Chains A and B, each alone.
Chain A
């Protein structure tokens, strides 16, 4: 059974700092890995999708890497802004049923 863990569970940083969020998964036989953002009481916004054959993806100030063999992914946020404050979830797609297994999330607060 796939298990996804995110570290840290919560993070507070001052504006302008670069930061790294971590995601680890137990079954390396994944199809892809997605990073999402969730604001309080809202749905999910997809940030980046990395296919199993890829090593990283970039979008603006965000960079996600994938090391499938070690079961790890990182989300790098450059020059953080207060608007980046949200919960960040990673999810991996595994199995013939194409299911997503979500991590526990990292609650990020960027302070002025």
Chain B
């Protein structure tokens, strides 16, 4: 149980295009989803917290107009990297939390999306 699916797993696109990444909780409802970014050989950095039906909360230094997050349902959150540039190339990982279990509940992670901007 508690499976999180992330799509696509790998994307290459030209500079200036926008890329959408989907994060789905397959067998549970996720009140809260999180988006992380990971640079090579570094740890995960939280980008934003996404609550269903409300605006995402972005971490300091993360451009909300560059990284658009939508959490329209209890099973789906999307991250859109707008007008992507080579410096946006990274590994993006989402996670989902079962809200009803409260603060002690674990986050379940997707397999990540490797984004390469040419």
Binding site for B on A (CB under 8 A): 31-32, 34, 36, 41-46, 49, 51-52, 89, 91, 93, 97-105
Contact = CB atoms under 8 A, between A and B. Distances in A.
A101 B43 CA distance: 10
Contacts of B44: 44, 89, 91, 102
A99 B46 contact: yes
A26 to B, nearest CB: 15
B56 to A, nearest CB: 12
Nearest to B110: A43
Interface stretch (B11-19, B71-79, B82-90, B99-107): B99-107
7 contacts: A31-B104, A32-B106, A43-B110, A44-B44, A98-B32, A99-B46, A99-B49
A105 B106 CA distance: 19
Interface residues of B, number: 24
Interface string B39-73: 00011111001000000010000000000000000
A101 B49 CA distance: 13
Contact of A43 (B46, B106, B112): B112
Contacts of A44: 44, 93, 95, 109
Given A42-B111, A100-B34, A49 B106 contact: yes
Contacts of A46: 106, 108-109
A100 B107 contact: yes
A97 B6 contact: no
B114 interface: yes
Contacts of B49: 97-99
A46 B6 CA distance: 16
A105 B39 CA distance: 13
Contacts of A51: 104
Given A41-B114, A46-B109, A104-B43, A32 B104 contact: yes
A51 B104 CA distance: 7
B25 interface: no
Contacts of A43: 6, 93, 109-112
